[in-house]
Structure 1
Amino acid sequence: MSAQQLSADRSGRTAGTTSGSGVAHGKTILLGEHAVVHGSPAIAVPLPRLAARADVRLDAPAATLTTSLYTGPLAAAPDRLAPTLTALRTTLTALRPDDAADLEATAALHVTSDVPHERGLGSSAAVAAAVVRAVADALGVTLEADDLHELVQTSERVAHGAPSGLDARSVVADGPLWFHRGEARLLPVGADGVLVVADTGVAGGTRAAVAGVRALRDADPAAGRALDRLGALVAVGRDALAAGDLGAVGAAMDEAHAHLAALTVSSPELDRLTAAARAAGALGAKLTGGGRGGCAVALCADAATAAAVADAYAAAGATGVWTSPLSPTTADQPTSPTGSTPTA
């Protein structure tokens, strides 16, 4: 749906300018990164304990932006915050096309986020979704899921060029998500499990990694076969999740990491963290996201094993460790992040 169509459909539901807030969360890719760029499915899991929050006032004395990276006039925000500003402007244009410019001139936007930046956990999408929701809330609009997705995707294109749409869907999902060619649906999970995510401390390079894998696939048939197998492992993981066979999910994760390493998107730090997780009892471990830095994710059968894996991650050099249920409940959904992590 275009912005013009969206505004036409919503014009009867908007209200006067006021304040609003919105929340979204991080995500981890359980299976399917890189293959999803080439048309295969992927499974993503929300990380509700890593939250992004946006608060906006649309009748403020001046247009300002407040984040941990920058505080000052909206018009002077640095280029790295362009996705955040795009989320604000695109949503205003979509919902209030006749006075979007006037509203932007008096918009005070405050963004906080616990989702680490450039780590493959959906930071830019989470912030964008929170901003879109905040603006919609301020205008008295309830967005449909597809409308929210389109607005977040506009911001994601500024951040990443040609995103698959996985992040935009998963940062607002309530549970594990099957994503394929732009469509998403919640997956049944037949057993409890715990995910442990670890930060290498090295910024990931999603654009470069995606471009590198594409070039490798074009030059080497073995790379194409690795991508095909990565896509097949997503179906294995889906069926195993439904059956409650977490051991099979873990085995698929281990194999996926090996294929991703062959595609040159792992790193010594990621290999060290995944090995440490397996040695501490994880059912499986792999890089998550674009790779070449960023984060690793491990699947554990229970909280005790997750605690041991978290300790092993720290001993192996992780700069940040987070645990999250494989299948979050309502109580796990974000309400207010601490705002300790840079936003973008």
Structure 2
Amino acid sequence: MQASPVPAAGGRRGEGAAHAKAILFGEHAVVYGAPAIAIPVDSLTAQATIERGGPAGLRIVSSLYTGPVDGAPARLTPVVTAIRASLERAGLGELARGEAGADGALVTIASSIPHERGLGSSAAVAAAIARAAFDLAGAELDGETLFDLVQTAERVAHGKPSGIDARTVAATGAIRFTRGAVAPIRIGAPLILAFADTGHPGSTAQAVGSVQALREREPASTDALLSRLAEIAEHSIEDLAAGDRAAVGAAMSEAHAILHRVGVSSDHLDAIVAAACAAGASGAKLTGGGLGGCVIAVASSTAHAEQIGAAMRDAGAERTWTVEVPAA
């Protein structure tokens, strides 16, 4: 890795952060305008700082690349897009464009969110960058501007994002998302989830394309499955409000079976889901686009979530952790 560039002393500094997200219900159906239920994952975060000063031009320091923005690899194009768009919207276009005579800027990114796992890594990084840019400018960043900036980067990352990632990485609680509209939902009792990282990247664009192709070949049966995913998501709102973990878990297992049928699960994901259920989870499913990524399982307690996590690791998960969605 190249040595980290050092900003000039006394340069102004802006800071921003955002958290991960997970979809409880509604993957893939949400692409066609159906509702989805998503939660913030506060224990996984992305942080960004932008320091003004030093050599001319924009520079990045991250775990994936360190050096001038113009030399960043293709996989960082969404990040570069977020940096430039955020600086422009914050009124710091001279930094974004690297104009002659303008200050340089150093953008440092640190994230504990696994890449390409369906947890909103790219959206969270974009949100953190936007917040850092507006903090640097001393400007107010409203929710819609933040959403627009994250979506700008997400279009580069995923093609035609639904917007659920951009909304959830900025949410303070569980949300119902449909056709861009967001509403908070009530969590009647703490929801304890065991998360498992399969160790294999997922591809939202590939998974969405796969479902679209299936829908073109078998429109009636595919639409019926997507409609059922939408119904499960809608009905889960009452179960979550009632704090009914058994019902939430059962809904997750049914949703996973449908996601398997539309072709976005895998043998590895299925094995981890089965291991979680064998360990006493009331239900489990993939979360996000699928074809890799993560599994979530409903536990009865934090200790139980640890037991489920151990079972999922035995089934091939790379790592596991416990997430509690508080009552709200």
If the length of structure 2 is used for normalisation, what is the TM-score? 0.92
Give the drift of 1:299.
1.4
One-letter amino acid matched to 1:88: I
* 1:71 alignment partner in structure 2: 66
User: Is the CA contact 1:174–1:328 (under 8 Å) kept in the aligned structure 2?
Assistant: no
One-letter amino acid matched to 2:171: A
**Overall identity of the aligned pairs, in %:** 48
Equivalent-residue separation in structure 1 for 2:306 and 2:43 (angstroms): 16
* 1:37 alignment partner in structure 2: 31
* 2:188 alignment partner in structure 1: 190
2:216 aligned counterpart, secondary structure: helix
Closer, same or farther: CA 29–20 of 1 in aligned 2, 3 Å: same
* Superposition pairs of residues 1-344 of structure 1, within 5 angstroms: 18-62=12-56, 63-96=58-91, 99=94, 100-102=96-98, 106-220=104-218, 221-327=220-326
Give the drift of 1:146.
1.1
1:55 aligned counterpart, secondary structure: strand
CA RMSD of aligned residues (A): 1.6
Give the drift of 1:173.
1.2
| CA offsets 1:62-111 (integer angstroms, 9 cap, x no match) | 43100111111121111111111111110111121663424786110000
One-letter amino acid matched to 2:184: L
Equivalent-residue separation in structure 2 for 1:88 and 1:105 (angstroms): 15
* 2:3 alignment partner in structure 1: none
Runs of 4+ in 1 over 6 A off after TM superposition: none
User: Is the CA contact 1:64–1:108 (under 8 Å) kept in the aligned structure 2?
Assistant: yes
Equivalent-residue separation in structure 2 for 1:315 and 1:131 (angstroms): 37
Give the drift of 1:301.
2.2
Closer, same or farther: CA 55–97 of 1 in aligned 2, 3 Å: closer
One-letter amino acid matched to 2:155: R
One-letter amino acid matched to 1:284: G
Equivalent-residue separation in structure 1 for 2:12 and 2:77 (angstroms): 24
* 1:6 alignment partner in structure 2: none
User: Is the CA contact 1:48–1:328 (under 8 Å) kept in the aligned structure 2?
Assistant: no
- Contiguous gaps of at least 5 residues in structure 2: 1-10
Give the drift of 1:59.
2.7
| CA offsets 1:261-290 (integer angstroms, 9 cap, x no match) | 000100011001111111111121000111
Equivalent-residue separation in structure 2 for 1:41 and 1:142 (angstroms): 31
Closer, same or farther: CA 97–134 of 1 in aligned 2, 3 Å: closer
Closer, same or farther: CA 24–97 of 1 in aligned 2, 3 Å: closer
2:170 aligned counterpart, secondary structure: coil
One-letter amino acid matched to 2:82: A
Equivalent-residue separation in structure 2 for 1:328 and 1:272 (angstroms): 30
Equivalent-residue separation in structure 1 for 2:144 and 2:64 (angstroms): 30
Equivalent-residue separation in structure 2 for 1:211 and 1:254 (angstroms): 23
- Contiguous gaps of at least 5 residues in structure 1: 1-16, 330-344
Identify which of structures 1 and 2 has the higher relative contact order when contacts are C-alpha pairs closer than 8 Å and 6+ apart: 1
If the length of structure 1 is used for normalisation, what is the TM-score? 0.88
Give the drift of 1:142.
2.1
Q: Which range moved further: 73-82 or 225-234?
A: 73-82
1:286 aligned counterpart, secondary structure: strand
Equivalent-residue separation in structure 2 for 1:159 and 1:314 (angstroms): 29
One-letter amino acid matched to 1:275: A
